[in-house]
Structure 1
Amino acid sequence: MALRFKNLDGSGPQPFSSVFKWAVADKLSGRRRKSPDHAPVPRVEPDLALLATPPAPGEGARLTWLGHASWLVQLDGLSLLIDPVLRDAINVVIRRNVPPGVPVDKLPPIAASLVSHNHYDHLDLPTLTDVGAPIVTGLGQSPVFKGSKLAVTELDWWQSTQVGPVTVHYVPSQHWSRRGLNDANEMLWGGFVVEGSSARVYHSGDTAWFDGFKEIGRRFPKLDAALLPIGAYDPEWFMSRQHMNPEEAVRAFEALGAREFLAMHWGTFKLTDEPLDEPPRRLDAEWNRRGWPHEHVHVLPVGGTLTVRGG
C-alpha cells in the first residue's frame, strides 16, 4: 500500500527487517549497548506564581521545559503547550525517569496544545484530554481525537493558524508516524514555529538531520530560540534516520540560524540504548569543539524556565 505521507527526501519508515534486527535480534544476541533505565537528571520546582501570568505583548516568550519534548510556551498573554506528556508512564511500561516540570493540575489556562506527530511519547491523549485545550497538529490526526470533544485544527507543512494574537506555523521534520499496526505514515509529522509580537520560537518535534533545517531558517529568519532534541540516538545505524545525536542537533542549530539553543528529548524516558544522562555531555563537548559562547546553549533542568526576546 502506498504511503500517504513521506519525508521531503521521499523516505518512509524503517523497513520491518531493520526494526526486527534492532528490537529483537540484536537485543537477544547482546549486541546492543546496555545502560541503566534511570539516571539523575536535574529538576527544579517551577515558579508557579510567575507561570500564572504569561508575558504581555512585547515582553518576549517564556519557555518552560516540562521534560522530554514537552514545553510550556507563553507569549503575548497566552499559554501554549507543545507535545505535552505529563503522566507517569507512556504505553504503561515506559515509566518517567523524572517527574514532569509542571503537573497538569498546576498549569495555567492553556489556549492550545500543539502536537507534532502521533507517536505516544509526543501525543498522549489522556494528558491532552485533561488539559482540555484545542489541538493544533498535522494532517490526518483527527481520528485520534474522535470522542474526546477536543477541537482539532490540522495543518499541512508550511501552513499556519492563529491562536489569538499568536501565529502557529507547521513545518517539516525528518521522521515518520504510526499509532497502530496498520497506519504507518497515514498522519503527518512535523515541527512548529510559534510567532508572537516580540519572539519567534522553533520546536522541531521528532526529527533526524535533514536539509529542511536550512529552508526553515530561510523562511523564518532570526529565530530567537530553537528547541532541539539531543537524545534517543543509540544505536546510530538504526536511530539516525529518525532522531539526532547532540552533534547533529548543533549542526541543525547552525543551519537554522537561531540565536538560542534549548535542549530537549533527553533524560525523561528510556527509549534507546545510550545512558539517559549522556546527551548533555556530548552537547557540551561539541559546543566546546566549535568554540561557541556558552551563553547561547541552554540545558534547562526539568521545570526550568528561560525567557527569549527578539533583538
Structure 2
Amino acid sequence: MPLRFKNLDGTGPQPFSTVFKWAVADKLSGRRRKSPDHAPVPHVSPDLALLATPPAPGEGARLTWLGHASWLVQLDGISLVIDPVLRDAINVVIRRNVPPGLPTHLLPPITASLVSHNHYDHLDLPTLVDVRAPIVTGLGHAPVFRGSGLAVTELDWWHSTRVGPVTVHFVPSQHWSRRGLNDANDMLWGGFVIEGSSARLYHSGDTAWFEGFHDIGQRFPHLDAAMLPIGAYDPEWFMSRQHMNPEEAVRAFEALRARDFLAMHWGTFKLTDEPLDEPPRRLDAEWTRRDLPRQHLHVLPVGGTLTVHSG
C-alpha cells in the first residue's frame, strides 16, 4: 500500500529489515554501544506563581522545559503545551530518567496542546486527556482522539490556525509516523512556528537534518527562539535519517537564522545508545568550535524557564 505522507525528499520510514538489524540483531550480537539507563540531569522546581499568569501582549514569550520535547509556552495572555508527555513512563516500559518539569495537575490553564506527530514519546494520550485542551496537529490524527472529547484541528505543512491571539503554523520536518502495526505514515509529522505580538518561536518536533530548515528560516525570518533536539542519535547509521546529533542541531540553528537556541529531546528517556548526559557536552563543544555567542545558547534544566522577546 502506498504511503499517504512522505518527507520533502520523498523518503519514508526505515524498512523493517533495517529496524530489525538495529533493534534485535545488533543488540544480540553486542555491536551496539552500551551506556547506563540513567544519568544525572539538572532539574529545578518551577516558579508556580510566575507560571500561573502568562505574559501579556508585548511582554514576549515564556518557555518552560518540561523534559524531552515537552514545553509550556506562554505568550499574549495564553498558555500552550507542545508534545506534553508528563507521566512516569512511555508504554509502561521506558521510564523517565528525570521527573517532568510540571506534573499535569500543576499546569496553568492550557488554551491548546500542540502535537508534532504520533510517536508515543510525543503523543501521550493520557497526558493530553488530563490537560483537557483542544489539539492542534498534522493531518490524519483525528482517529487517535476519537472518544477523548478533545477537539482536533489538523494542519497540512505550511498551513496555519489561530489560537486566541496567537498564530500557529505547522511546518515540515524530516521524520515519519507510526502508532500501530499498519499505519506507517498515515499521519503527518512536523514542527511548529508560533507567532505572537512580541515573539516568534520554532519547535522542530522530531527531525533529522534536512534542507527544509533553510525554507522555514526564509518563510519565518527573525525567529527569536528555536527549540531543537540534540539527543537520540546513536547509532548514527540508523538514527541520522530521523534524529539530529548535537552538531547537526547547531547546523539547523544556523540555517534557521534564529537568535536563541534552546536544547531539548535529551536526558529524559533512554531511547538510543548514547549516554543520557552526553548530548549537551557535544553541543557545548560544537558551539565553542563555531565560536557562536554564548548568550544565545540555552540548555535549561528540566523545569527551567526562559523569557524571550522580539528584537
Q: Which runs of 4+ in 1 moved over 2 A?
A: none
**1:206 Cα shift?**
0.1
2:288 match? 288
Distance in 1 (alpha carbons) for counterparts of 2:298 and 2:85: 21
Matches within 5 A, 1:85-234: 85-234=85-234
Secondary structure of residue in 2 paired with 1:109: coil
Where structure 2 has 5 or more consecutive residues not aligned to the other structure, the ranges are none
Say which SS state the counterpart of residue 71 (structure 1) adopts.
strand
Deviations 1:72-112, CA, capped at 9 Å, x for gaps: 00000000000000000001100000000011000000000
The one-letter code of the counterpart of 1:290 is R
Deviations 1:255-304 (A, max 9, x none): 00000000000000000000000000000000000111111000000000
Q: Distance in 1 between matches of 2:71 and 2:126?
A: 17
- Rounded to whole Å, the distance in 2 between the matches of 1:176 and 1:105 is 31
Cα offsets for 1:175-217 (capped at 9, x unmatched): 0000000000000000000100000000000000000000000
Deviations 1:126-178 (A, max 9, x none): 00000000000000000000000000000000000000000000000000000
Letter in 1 for 2:205: G
- State the Cα deviation string for residues 212-252 of structure 1 (Å, max 9, x = none): 00000000000000000000000000000000000000000
Aligned equivalents of 2:106 and 2:46: distance in 1? 10
Q: Which residue of structure 1 aligns with residue 242 of structure 2?
A: 242
Equivalent AA in structure 1 for residue 168 of structure 2: V
For normalisation by structure 2, the TM-score amounts to 1.00
Return 5+ residue gaps in structure 1 as ranges.
none
1:302 is the counterpart of 2:275: no
Q: Secondary structure at the match of 1:79?
A: strand
How does 1:253-292 map onto structure 2 within 5 Å? 253-292=253-292
**Are 1:21 and 2:30 an aligned pair?**
no
Q: Distance in 2 between matches of 1:136 and 1:172?
A: 15
Distance in 2, matches of 1:149 and 1:105, equals: 19
Structure 2 distance, partners of 1:81, 1:241, is 27
Secondary structure of 1:161's counterpart equals strand
Query: What is the distance in 2 between the residues matched to 1:178 and 1:21?
Result: 19
The residue type equivalent to 1:196 in the other structure is: G
The normalised TM-score by structure 1 is: 1.00
In 2, Cα distance between equivalents of 1:28 and 1:167: 48
Q: Give, as a single letter, the amino acid of the residue that structure 2 aligns with 1:269.
A: F
